[in-house]
Structure 1
Amino acid sequence: MAPHTIDRVSFFSRIQAFFQSSRTPEVSEVPGHTDLPEARWLVVGLGNPSAKYESTRHNVGYMCVDTLLDRRTDNAAPPLAPVRGLKVLTAPLPDAAERALAVRSTTFMNHSGQGVAPLAEKLGIPPERIIVIHDELDLPAGKVRLKKGGNENGHNGLKSLTQELGTRDYLRVRIGISRPPTGMSVPDYVLAPVTEQQPGIDVAADAVDLIIARGLAAAQNEIHSR
């Protein structure tokens, strides 16, 4: 091989290495758990990552997971942590009636299923033991309702979960955020930051604990009477 050919190969190799080292790491490259704890339940809070969205109505699922973990701080509940190779953050929920794992997807809302479905498959958790906490436009603000399956009603996070799980038969904790005021679009409404405390978060957290401890029907009887 001619000397100038060797130099050209070396040059392009250095350029390729530079761009590879400069790119944003893939989720699979993020340090995290090497082994997931055993779990019988997944408690999935839907939302969008980054500080830009953390106080928006669309992130009530994230807020509820935070509340569930905060309630357990006296028992040293671990923080949410990345899982190597999966697009999720997880933390065990101490004191749950059965082993449960709190989950956030690290994708944006529209792709939530890309993290949750592989996690459920890896742990062997069926849809009827996946609890999904999400915002619900068709309920008054703060009203919490529980159900299994049903239509997604235009909710893109639910659509992604249904597509990736291959079923609608997961459990849902629906936190009402009400409809936007006249003249305001749904995206602008759900993605707008709110200054007041979002109502319904504590009730939704109670609902999660009740579902795990006593089943969906018993949890519905109690929560729907509030």
Structure 2
Amino acid sequence: MNNNLLPIAKEGFSRIGFAILAYAIFALLDFDLLEFFSFLLILFFVFVYRNPERMVPSLEKMSVLSPVDGVLLSIEELENDEYLYKLEINSSYLNVSLLRAPFNGVLEHVDIKHGARLSQDTALSREINERVELVLEDQSKNKIKISHMLKQSFDEIKLNVISKQNLIQGSRYGLMVNGITTIYLPQNFRLNVSVGQELGASQTLIGYFS
């Protein structure tokens, strides 16, 4: 798990570097319009890959924080022996792209499925878009499942963790630019969020295991 403390996430270094190179070349060739667009591209990549340092709030031991920045689109109650709640969070280009661990626990399972990057309004997006699925478990055997799915994005989902790795609440475990996050919560969970709420990764309390 790489907790890069630079103001820009390392995943964005190559794109920012290419944009700076293009800006320099167009400036030397006196291509004013392309130089201007290259400058805007530098600013865009710096914004998208910004990497703010965040302090995890002091909460009870059984707390679960949001793993992403975004807006809570829906809360659905499931008829499932393992999971009771299904939450969907929409993250846009305006949100910080970093993914953060919702609680202290072990990454029991990780599955990466490469695919398309269709708009979420496209019927097939739920079936063929690129996604990753993670299952995390704490010391008390409380378990949640998280699915990150790309929408229309120029970058793939990136993870810097592996199966059976210990995660610390609030630590960075990957990056997703413009996507949908689905969280499955167990029967013994108490929710602390509402639909339409703006969530902050490692800042907003989703709820507690009881």
Question: Is TM more than 0.5 here?
Answer: no
TM range (shorter): under 0.3
Q: Higher helix share goes to which structure? A: 1
Query: With structure 2 as the length reference, what TM-score do the two structures score?
Result: 0.27
Q: Higher strand share goes to which structure? A: 2
Query: With structure 1 as the length reference, what TM-score do the two structures score?
Result: 0.26
Larger radius of gyration: 1
Q: Whose relative contact order is higher, 1 or 2, with alpha carbons under 8 Å and at least 6 apart? A: 2
